[in-house]
Structure 1
Amino acid sequence: MPELPMNQTVLHAAVQRFAQYTRVDEIWEEYLSATGDRPDLAESAHRKALLRWLNLAGCRIRYPKPGEPDPFDEGLTAWWHRRGAGLPHRALAELTDAEVDALGGCFTELAAAPAALSPATGRVRALGPTAAAKALHALRPHTLMPWDEAIAGHLHGARDGAAYVAHQRLGRDWAAGLLTEAGLGTRVQDALAFADVLGRPSRPLPKMLDDYCYLAITVGANSTSP
């Protein structure tokens, strides 16, 4: 698959340009406020906050009407019960091979989780690979890099579990290289210090890498705003 250039200068230019999309920061701050910056999908309010953030980020998951089943809430609760405790808490640059490999099944299950009822057919649609990747990032913002359809297709040629693992490996390599270039360590604190250097205080490094991918790939394929 095509490779993208990555160094501090390239990333700095991208994140400064992406900062123009102020609504992205606003909806993220709303999500952090709603979850206390410690998302726990065992809590109903946090599941609702995640659904709201996903929809504001463009995922278009139908909200149930009063009296209808709530597939998203039920599906996320069940997935969290199975997988939540296993989600890594390390910084992206510190993920081990075993931790990255385990994310493939975790992602695949989440992408297949029920998300919304279709009134026309009575069928329930799955969450899907883009929303699943975004949700995993929202749950572990300093650990996991999201994607969209254009990014996944361009970099990995697929959006399955193997491609998701490859995306996290790529992000880990980018993150480690950037932090080394900046003379920093690989912990979350180091990544936040790097965000300060880039003029984007508190922005998670996985999201800054996604900002770059969005501008380099998605904007080129589809000129709509995020």
Structure 2
Amino acid sequence: MNGHHVNLGKLALVCWTYRGIGDRAYEQLLQRTGGNPDPGDAGHRQLIIDFLRKWYCFHRIEKDSDENISTQMYNWHQQHNGALPNVNTNLWELAPLQMNAIGDVFNDLSGQVAGARGGRNVSFGPVAAAKTLFAIRPNALVPWDTRIRQHYVHANGTYREFLGMMRDIALNLAKQCQNHGFEIAELPQQLGTPNKTVCKLIDEYNWRTITKKFTPPDRQTLERFIAWYE
């Protein structure tokens, strides 16, 4: 898979298979925060933390670290909120300078101390930081896990590099959507998942094809299967 191109048809198929898996944690976060998780709100911070734990973050530290995580998240947000894109800004609309600022914001959050284990401090780390950014800016920022990160930018790659690649993917998808008569902003609706964002769909594609190593069938195989519907 080229890091800058995702076939629209394959993304649609992969995201369709993801629907069978479900994503209750993500749905609950949206429902309980009115679709706009705000780290400035104490209740929302706890919901974000709950979401992150369900998305396999902070498993190395105990539940009683939540208060510290919340405090660190609040302080980070107070300092960097102005550098984050507007909640309505889309991934494909990000400018290079914005992505540079987001990269700095990401690095700061990644280094924040979330808790301790065995007498040693444990930081948020790159996975929890990326998933936090997605949680609070789901229209603009794509999460990653360790395998997705290594696939696109290798172990030492930056979130800024990754975000640039995701933006390229979105811009390419936008052209494919236009070729089929609709805009990329309409893609979630076209796929029957209007409550999701394009960033969420791209993450689902990455997770299914990279983390879980699912390979969607090629067009010839699909056409053969479709013929069996008759």
Both proteins in one fold, TM over 0.5? yes
| Conserved? CA contact 2:178–2:184, under 8 Å | no
Tell me the SS of whatever aligns to 2:134. helix
| Conserved? CA contact 2:148–2:211, under 8 Å | yes
What do residues 155-203 of structure 1 show as CA deviations (whole Å, max 9, x unaligned)? 101355xx2111111111111111222128xxxx954411121232221
| Conserved? CA contact 1:91–1:143, under 8 Å | yes
When structure 1 is superposed on structure 2, of 13-22 and 46-55 the one drifting more is 13-22
Unaligned runs of 5+ in 1: 222-226
Name the CA distance, whole Å, in 2 between partners of 1:91 and 1:168. 12
Partner of 1:199: 192
* 2:29 maps to 1:31: yes
Partner of 1:107: 106
Name the CA distance, whole Å, in 1 between partners of 2:129 and 2:21. 22
| Conserved? CA contact 1:192–1:203, under 8 Å | no
The within-5 A match list for 1:1-226 is 3=3, 5-22=5-22, 24=23, 26-61=24-59, 62-65=61-64, 70-89=67-86, 90-118=89-117, 120-121=118-119, 123-159=120-156, 163-183=158-178, 190-220=183-213
In structure 2, what residue type is equivalent to 1:139? I
**Deviation, structure 1 residue 86:** 1.7
User: TM-score by structure 1 length?
Assistant: 0.84
| Conserved? CA contact 1:129–1:159, under 8 Å | no
Partner of 1:224: none
Tell me the SS of whatever aligns to 2:212. helix
Output the aligned Cα RMSD.
Answer: 2.3
| Conserved? CA contact 2:91–2:167, under 8 Å | yes
Unaligned runs of 5+ in 2: 215-230
Name the CA distance, whole Å, in 1 between partners of 2:195 and 2:58. 27
What do residues 35-67 of structure 1 show as CA deviations (whole Å, max 9, x unaligned)? 2222221111011000000001111344544xx
| Conserved? CA contact 2:58–2:128, under 8 Å | no
**Deviation, structure 1 residue 134:** 0.6
Name the CA distance, whole Å, in 1 between partners of 2:42 and 2:52. 15
Count residues in correspondence: 209
User: TM-score by structure 2 length?
Assistant: 0.83
Q: Max radius of gyration: which structure?
A: 2
Name the CA distance, whole Å, in 2 between partners of 1:81 and 1:204. 25
| Conserved? CA contact 1:64–1:116, under 8 Å | no
